[in-house]
Amino acid sequence: MRLARIIDDLGVWEKSAFVKLLENLAEESGKTKEVDAILMKSSGDDLKKAEGEDISAVFQLLEKEFTEHLNQAFQNCSNQFDLLFDVIGRDGNAMMSAVWFSTLYTKAIKDTKKNAKQMKSVLEGDITELTEERIRAYRVFHACLKTAFENDIANNLDPKITSDEQSILATLASALNLSAHEANLLNYTVIPLNAREITEVSDELVRLGVIFVIRKTGKVYVADEIVRVLRKVRGREVGDKYFKRMLKLLKDPEINNICKAHGMLMRGIEREEKIQNIIDEGLSFTKALSEDLHKEGSSVNDRKKRINELCELGLPDVKLTGATLDQKVESLIHHFDAVDRESRIGISMEGFDHLVRDLTEFFPQKFKLWLKNEFELQEEDELITAEFLHDFNIKPRDILEVIESKELSRFIKDKGIKSRGLNILNVLDSYKDTQNLFFENYEAIARRDLNVLKEAGINVKEAELGSKFEDITQLMLQDLGFNVDMQLRNTVNTKRDKVDILVNLGSSQVMLVECKTSKDSTYNKFSSIIRQLKAYKELLEGKGLHVVKALIVAPDFSEDFIADAELEYELSPSLLKAGQLRTIHTAFKQQFKHAALPAKLLSHARDVVIDADRVVKSMSR
């Protein structure tokens, strides 16, 4: 769930610790003026009174400082930060009850103790399935760790590992090719692991700015932006689901190569379990792709070629850049980071909802169980919908990737979906609702942003964007119940004067709608557009029609444009930003599906710039 949305759901006290932390980070980094500049646009100069969007913008400004703040907290090995990250870092734990958080924490303690006990058996020579080289690496790290932890005793101090020692141990773990999971387990063969009071744990995480807790309900929230920082602090280059996405594209021998490189057991273990074990080990994404999956002795060119093949096979939206192998992998990391930050889901929300319903019906017992196991969703969460999953940053491709290959093939055959190529991409393509996809990317069309449109799966030529914006605006107005009279428009249009959209209000009254796209986002050509509109008005009045309102729709308007519009008394045009029309349309579709928006809300609008919130509020009366 996005940080802005969480903040808006919190009370003053519940967000106070986070706000105070941001204020301190701003002061320490000398960025107070930049923070004030963000707040002055809408919230004044008080961060405590700021809305979610403003606090989110301040967080983005201070993300580097926040990361360092958590880095310092992570150096304290007694706070169980590594273990807690595995609890709160999952997509399915973006929001949960305090009881569920306690359950997951208790389970994590129990599992870690069990695994640490097995690691101790390896160190003592009781388990010999691993190679001698691997066991030796464990013993070297363990000996260094023990010395670092216990050397304070000689100085009559409590045993601990300092930040400097922690840094040296991290370097040693990397040199010994230990995974994050292995290093953590070795830590807990030396450092006592005791369950803490859950209130103590949650209070500390709130103080650190990692989670938010609503007092009244006990609900725990973890923001997507915070998880990305935690991932960086923990040395995870991409989210687990994206790492798994790449692993699923690999051949079986390549999966085995990764397991072999890290001394992981392979005999008698199925492919899916091997993939999950790789994820659980916390291996380096970069090392796995650039080194581990390839045959020993493979040339750099062969490795680059294989990375290119993998992206062509299963990631058609990736723009792989860079000449070197490291650069190619780095561009892949940037791609997954961008996907994680994006709210777009690749298909329309209606298409997503349709997919969820079909999967639930086809796998009545299994589908919900697969999702719960993969994303650790709270047990009492019964209703699985597209909106519910989207709140947890779980997207259409994510849910398809939890389904076993054979089961997905069975679903594809039953639904008559093409099976040539990658099954997951075929399913996504079949549930892509084009019209709703255009609605969801309406603002990008208005801004003529071809890159964003291509990423969303919309292929349109730049020359077609103007007419496409007009077409989608027309569809939105029709959805709102407006009588968009194409026949009347065609009757009055001439070769020289062509009205974009004409809304018939009855009794010979009409509303002119002019659509303008702009790469600069802010449309500023008032003099040219007002000449157009006056020509249209004269044309329509010559046909016996009365123009009640002229409505201009564009991505945004410059201050000069708005000022000029306020002084135009003959037409008294109203200005509607594309994002505001999208907001009105979305609210209407969700809440008022069987009604019609009163035309007067737009045709008789008194404000120069129409406020979507006011229109939506009027709809509910």
Task: Give dist(CA 33, CA 30) in Å, integer.
Answer: 8
3-state secondary structure of 204: helix
- What average pLDDT does range 222-249 have in this prediction? 90
Distances (CA, A) of 405 to 29, 134, 385, 414, 568: 50, 33, 23, 14, 63
Give residue 356's pLDDT band: very low, low, confident or very high (50, 70, 90): very high
Mean pLDDT of the chain: 87
Average pLDDT over residues 490-519: 87
Q: What is the pLDDT of residue 247?
A: 94
Using DSSP, state whether 158 is helix, strand or coil. Answer: coil
CA pair distance 540, 15, nearest whole angstrom: 56
What distance in Å separates the CA atoms of residue 33 and residue 39, rounded to the nearest whole number?
A: 10
Give the pLDDT band (50/70/90) at residue 310: very high
Alpha helices in 363-404 (DSSP H): 366-375, 386-391, 396-400
Read off the pLDDT band of 26 (50, 70, 90).
Answer: very high
pLDDT confidence tier of residue 42, bands split at 50, 70 and 90? low
Q: What is the pLDDT of residue 256?
A: 93
Q: 189 with 142: CB under 8 angstroms?
A: yes
Assign domain 462-619 one CATH number from 3.40.50.620, 3.40.91.50, 3.10.20.90, 3.40.50.300. Answer: 3.40.91.50
Q: What is the mean pLDDT of residues 93-106?
A: 89
**Which pairs with CB-CB distance under 8 Å and at least 24 residues apart come from 413-420?**
414/362, 415/358
Report pLDDT for 67. 92
Q: Please report the pLDDT score of residue 578 as a whole number.
A: 93
Per-residue b/e over 222-231, b at no fewer than 16 CB within 10 Å? bbbbbbbbbb
**In this predicted structure, what is the pLDDT of residue 505?**
87
Please state the rounded mean pLDDT for residues 34-41.
Answer: 84
Residue 621's pLDDT is 63
Residue 19 has a pLDDT of 92
**Per the structure block, which two tokens stand in for 617?**
């509020």
How high is the pLDDT of residue 215?
A: 82
Domain ranges of the chain: 237-340, 349-432, 462-619
